[in-house]
Amino acid sequence: MTLHIDTPLVESLQLSVIAGRSVWLKLDALQPPGSFKIRGIGYACETYMAQGARRFISSSGGNAGLAVAYAGRMLGLPVTVVVPETTTDRAKELLCQERANVIVHGSSWQEANAFARSLIGPKDAFLHPFNDPLLWEGHATLIDEVFRSGLTPDAIVLSVGGGGLLSGVVEGLDRNGWNGIPVIAVETTGTASFHEAIKAGHSVELEKLTSIATSLGAKRVCERAVKSAKKHPIHSVVVSDRSALSACERFLDDHRILVEPACGASLAVVYENMPELQKFSKVLVVVCGGATTTIDQIREWVKKSQ
């Protein structure tokens, strides 16, 4: 029994026609807490509980925090989530629905994270949003499911924030003998810490984050993601906020699933049939999800980006 579910793997007729190639979707937006995060965080929470943890602590008001809160509710352990003042009312409402104790502290994630860490007691486990080997091992189950399905893609398209999903996907490819399948790693302008790390050859810290795709908003990508790029074929792509937002709206029309701009970034590569796809005939897109975004919010962002 795991806390995540095996999600649908479907061929998208609409995207295949637009891109002129076979496009498959791994629909992790359909995970119970709304994103792929529960794969790794659920596995980590179960592991920490088995090691004696009696409370989970998180510092994310987004998908990671929701996954921790969901895991805690399912496992019967209390969860404390510290969020910055910038966290939306909807995100706080969703966390409370999952019975998490929500503490608002600080004007940035860094301040909220520091406070969350100060709360850690001897029976507590802290769940990092992306930088934990247990998370990567759990996220790798996404590729295990694709492998078991019998589908062998020519390339995998996914979004990169802190690098947890990328690290997990590369681990999954490796353990299933798919070392040669390239990954197209997508970020938005203003959150491209992985792109800058690839150019520099090591992780670098962005001075500031300027994209509306806040779930991609890690100033520094994890070292594991940078190391993965040195051993696995990974192509870094950066798209605009407007492209990501447009992809969210089009995907809602095409597949009746609402995703956040962070997920829309990877879908934009296909909707705009970008050059990075040209040599591939069968592409898999990880539809990573996002529970805190509403269509009204996306449309408001679209207005501001025009």
Nearest to 221 by CA among 258, 196, 194: 194
- The H or E element that residue 9 is part of is strand 9-11
Q: What's domain 37-131's architecture?
A: 3-Layer(aba) Sandwich (3.40)
All structural domains of the chain with their residue ranges? 9-36+134-305, 37-131
- The H or E element that residue 235 is part of is strand 234-239
- The predicted structure's pLDDT at residue 203: 86
pLDDT at 217 exceeding the cut of 80: no
Mode of pairing for the β-strands spanning 234-239 and 55-58: unpaired
What would the pLDDT profile of 151-195 be if each residue is shown by its tens digit? Answer: 999 999 999 999 999 999 999 999 999 999 999 999 999 889 999
Side chain identity, residue 284:
L
What would the pLDDT profile of 93-150 be if each residue is shown by its tens digit? Answer: 999 999 999 999 988 878 888 999 999 999 999 999 999 999 999 999 999 999 999 9
What would the pLDDT profile of 58-75 be if each residue is shown by its tens digit? Answer: 998 789 999 999 999 999
- The predicted structure's pLDDT at residue 292: 87
| Whether the model pTM is above 0.75 | yes
The strand order across the sheet containing 101-104 reads 101-104, 79-83, 55-58, 124-126
- The predicted structure's pLDDT at residue 60: 86
Q: For residues 59 and 119, is the Cβ–Cβ distance under 8 A?
A: no
pLDDT at 79 exceeding the cut of 80: yes
Third-level CATH fold of 9-36+134-305: Rossmann fold (3.40.50)
Side chain identity, residue 50:
A
Q: How confident is the model at residue 18 (pLDDT cuts 50, 70, 90)?
A: very high
Mode of pairing for the β-strands spanning 22-27 and 282-287: parallel
Question: Average pLDDT of the chain?
Answer: 94
Identical fold for domains 9-36+134-305 and 37-131, yes or no, is yes
**Helical segments of 98-240, H only:** 109-118, 133-139, 141-149, 164-175, 193-200, 223-231
CB atoms within 10 A of CB 92: 18
